[in-house]
Amino acid sequence: MNGFKAFVLRGNVVDLAVGIIIGAAFGTVVQALVRDLIAPIIAAAFGKPDFSTLYVKLGAGKFAYGDFLNALIAFVIVAAVVYYFVVVPYARLRARFEPPPVPLPVTRACPECLSQIPEQAHRCAFCTSVVEG
């Protein structure tokens, strides 16, 4: 029981649970966005807000592609909403508060031992030979 308690109380498990709960709530909001705002725009453009009844007759059967089209449109909308309302603002916020990257020091090869030494060095730290500058 102690092992299970330690597993459940680890930070990453709690973070994952919170992420799943927030994701489910966000999914509900996005579904409402699609149903109440995007579907009427699609209905105005194409005459139908729901494509689930679309199909093509193939011989004796029918190829129903409407549900797939609905799912594809919903996926693209969800992906766009997540990208523009979560990923882009998070990247901007993170870039604002992260320190700038530290540039790598400029080095050159020691003529005696071929070790990499700083550009301004006058003596090699590895073989102690004097390096002209």
Q: What is the pLDDT of residues 62-119, one digit of tens each?
A: 888 888 888 888 788 778 878 888 889 999 999 899 888 888 889 999 999 999 999 9
Identify the residue whose tokens are 């990208």: 83
> What is the model's pLDDT at position 124?
93
CB 82 within 8 A of CB 91: no
- Domain co-membership, 120 together with 61: no
Q: Are residues 91 and 108 in the same domain?
A: no
State the pLDDT at residue 85. 82
CA dist 9 to 4, 12, 13, 129, Å?
Answer: 9, 8, 7, 57
* Segment 5-48, tens digit of pLDDT: 777 777 677 778 888 998 888 888 877 877 788 778 877 887 77
88 and 124 co-located in one domain: no
Residue 117 is predicted with a pLDDT of: 92
56 and 31 inside one domain: yes
Tens of pLDDT, residues 118-129: 999 999 999 999
CA 13/CA 125 separation, integer angstroms = 47
- Does one domain contain both 89 and 31? yes
Query: Is the domain of 113 the same as that of 59?
Result: no
Q: Are residues 116 and 59 in the same domain?
A: no
pLDDT at 11: 65
Count: domains in the chain = 2
Check whether residue 63 and residue 29 sit in a common domain.
Answer: yes
Coil/strand/helix, residue 108:
strand
Domain that holds residue 116: 104-133
Residue 106, pLDDT score: 92
Residues 22 and 57 reside in one and the same domain:
yes
